[in-house]
């Protein structure tokens, strides 16, 4: 009986954490070495910036090899893709990545709420 209780409690805790994650979709950008951002309808979300304050979201390893999907290369191995992410934020930056799903570029290209990313580049 005790293992069942532990399993149920673990499941409930995991569900509670996932329930608080935010679902954000937009342009996932790796514009420079050690710099990752997500640009969505609410603005820019810093994911990692090792050149500045050294911040780095937990779960960076969940970002797939974006070049394996639809990807815009801007310089060498740097560029951006369209993606949806389940994340935790602190109101200004992404602090933890739970999951990432890369989407077709056309999904973001057709979203008027994130066109600022393409025009500000």
Query: Could you tell me the domains of the chain?
Result: 22-120 (2.40.50)
Provide DSSP, 1-61. -HHHHHHHHHHHHHHHHHHH-EEEEEEEEEEETTEEEEEETTEEEEEEETTTT-EE-BTGG
pLDDT at position 7 is: 41
**Chain position carrying tokens 């200004």:** 92
pLDDT at 11: 43
Low-confidence ranges of the chain (pLDDT < 70): 1-19, 52, 120-121
**Residues 37 and 44: beta-carbon distance below 8 Å:** yes
The confidence score (pLDDT) of residue 75 equals 86
Q: What is the pLDDT of residue 16?
A: 44
């Amino acid at each position: 009986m005790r293992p069942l209780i532990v399993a149920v409690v673990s499941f409930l805790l995991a569900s509670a954490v996932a329930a608080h994650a935010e679902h954000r979709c937009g342009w996932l950008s790796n514009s420079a070495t050690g710099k990752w951002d997500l640009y969505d309808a609410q603005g820019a979300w810093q994911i990692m910036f090792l050149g500045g304050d050294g911040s780095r979201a937990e779960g960076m390893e969940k970002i797939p090899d974006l070049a394996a999907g639809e990807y815009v290369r801007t310089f060498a191995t740097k560029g951006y893709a369209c993606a949806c992410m389940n994340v935790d934020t602190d109101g200004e930056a992404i602090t933890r990545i739970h999951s990432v799903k890369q989407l077709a570029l056309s999904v973001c290209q057709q979203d008027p709420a994130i066109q600022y990313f393409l025009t500000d580049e």
